Each structure stands twice: as structure tokens, then as C-alpha cells.
Amino acid sequence: MLRICLSVSIALFAAAQTASADRHLFNTVKQKLAQGKQVVGGTIYTSDPNVYCAMAHAGFDFLWIEMQHSPLNYDQVAKMIWACRDAPAIPFIRIPDATEGDLQKATDIGALGIVVPMVDTVEEAENAVLYAKYPPQGRRSRGGGQYGKLWGNGKYRELANDNMMIVVMIENPAGIEIVDKIAAVEGIDVVFAASGDIGSFTGYERSDPRYMKLIERVKTETLKAGKILAGPSSWRDREGFMFFQGPSEGSLIAAGAKLELGEAQEEKKDVATGDEAR
């Protein structure tokens, strides 16, 4: 049954893209998902453009720019995105909340993906679409920003709605209870099962059958609505999940250092073994 739901979800998503095949999709994350491919994004907390660019060229499909749990401001993030404007990783921003101001700023500085945290009402999901999309689909003001230079001055206004992606995060029991209604909101592309916060809000361990039942509900209702199912990168082998938040720059640096130091130790052992053998 779940396999059928996944097939239907991918088919619906792909069909939506095929229906507008004459429109140019420059959001490669959306392209890959429509082709049935998984996508993974590295998470960025720092304002250092050099770190951003290193991550943007590291092989991730997108970068999850963290503005909910970091001191990053929109000026810093705009400079980060601009510094690596030709990188293959698409900029996604997790905004603090689905306010008109946050959505306007995030889209103006060039994000092609908006991640909305703590969604537990239909209104929040609707607002995310409303203020991220231009009329007639939404109420995004044309205004100004670097989006035009990033994605094409002439055609951006015409193509922005097709390329913008809205990711809603389900993080608490209230959101899980109405996840079917949230997933059904037109314009929502991805529903994210927030593994850590679902455990935090319920007090359930991730091995608890009650926890797994909640995750299963998010999964079933998301796929039933024909939307993309998302979760942490550790769930890449779970059936149905297609969109993943990957590790942060700090985790990657630590992992790289451990790997490098481990290889150095192995080289020392090889040299020592060689000396003894001679």
C-alpha cells in the first residue's frame, strides 16, 4: 500500500511538471524530485561565505540555510548566496516563521526553497504559499532584490511560482493530528517529518511504537496527498522518503577531521609495519 502511495506521489509530482513542460525549471531540486530522485541538503549555520561555497560545491542538491536556530540575518544570507551564485546547490532557507516579512525577504534574496518550521495549523501552511508566490497564486510583492540577477531578470517574475518550493515541517502532536489537511494545501510541495522534535514534544523514544505510529501517519497522509515526504538524512533508506536534511558544516568538519586523522594514523602504522618487515 505504501509503495503504491509513493508511486502515486511521484507520478502526481512529475505530472505537474510535465503539464508545464513549456516553462523553464531552473530549480534543479524540483527537477530531480519530478524524476523520482532523492535530494539531500547540507545545513548551514555560519555566515562565512567561504564555508557556504565549500558546502555548495560539495555535492549537495541544496543548502538548508538555518535562520530559525541561528543568529543569521537576511543581509548575511544574501551575501552568502551571492558569493556562490553559480554553485549547483540550490539555496533553501528555513525561516523563523511563516510571516509576510520573512517570506518576502527570503524570496527576494534568492531562495528557491522555503522551509517553514512548527506548522500545526492549516493557516500557517496557506500563508507560506500566499506570501511566497506571486499573483494570481499568492500575494508576494514584486519589490526588488537580487533574485533577478541570480535567476534571470527578464523571466523571473513569470517563472518564479513554478520554481519556488514550500516545505512544511510537522513537529508536534497538533500538526500530526491535522497533517492530512496541511498536506492537502495547494502549493505545498514537501512535508517534513521532524524526527527530533516529534520525540521532544511527545517524550517518546524513537524506538517507541507510539513514536513510529506518529511518523507513519505523517508518511501515509503526505503520500496520499501526492506530496513529497521528507526527513533527516539518516532516513534515506526508508521507503517513501525523498527529501532530506543533511548534516551541518560543524558535523562535516568534525567528520572530515576524524577521517583525516584516522588515515594519518593508518599511514603511520603502515610505515612502522614496513620498517619492521625490512
Cell numbers found for residue 201:
514534544
Question: Between these two residues, 137 and 16, which has the higher pLDDT value?
Answer: 137
Q: Give the Å distances, CA to CA, from 5 to 12, 178, 219.
A: 10, 19, 9
What is residue 38's three-state secondary structure? coil
Confidence of residue 264 (pLDDT cuts 50, 70, 90): low
Element (H, E) at 163: helix 156-163
What is residue 61's three-state secondary structure? coil
Predicted confidence at residue 18, as pLDDT, reads 46
Which residue bears the cell 544574501?
A: 78
What's the whole-model pTM score? Answer: 0.87
Q: Locate the DSSP E strands across the chain.
A: 39-44, 62-66, 90-94, 113-116, 165-170, 190-193, 228-232, 241-248
What is residue 144's three-state secondary structure? coil
Q: Give the Å distances, CA to CA, from 10 to 31, 111, 112, 231.
A: 12, 24, 20, 16
| Cβ neighbours around 127 below 10 Å, total | 21
- The stretch 28-45 carries a mean pLDDT of 98
Q: What are the chain's domains?
A: 2-277 (3.20.20.60)
Confidence of residue 56 (pLDDT cuts 50, 70, 90): very high
| pLDDT tens digit sequence for 199-210 | 999 999 999 999
What is residue 169's three-state secondary structure? strand
| pLDDT tens digit sequence for 213-261 | 999 999 999 999 999 999 999 999 999 999 999 999 999 999 999 999 9
| pLDDT tens digit sequence for 14-29 | 555 444 444 588 999 9
Share of the chain above pLDDT 70, in %: 86
Dist. CA 205–CA 42, nearest whole Å: 25
In the predicted model, is pLDDT for residue 7 greater than 70?
no
Q: What angle do CA 99, 101, 103 make, to 5 degrees?
A: 70
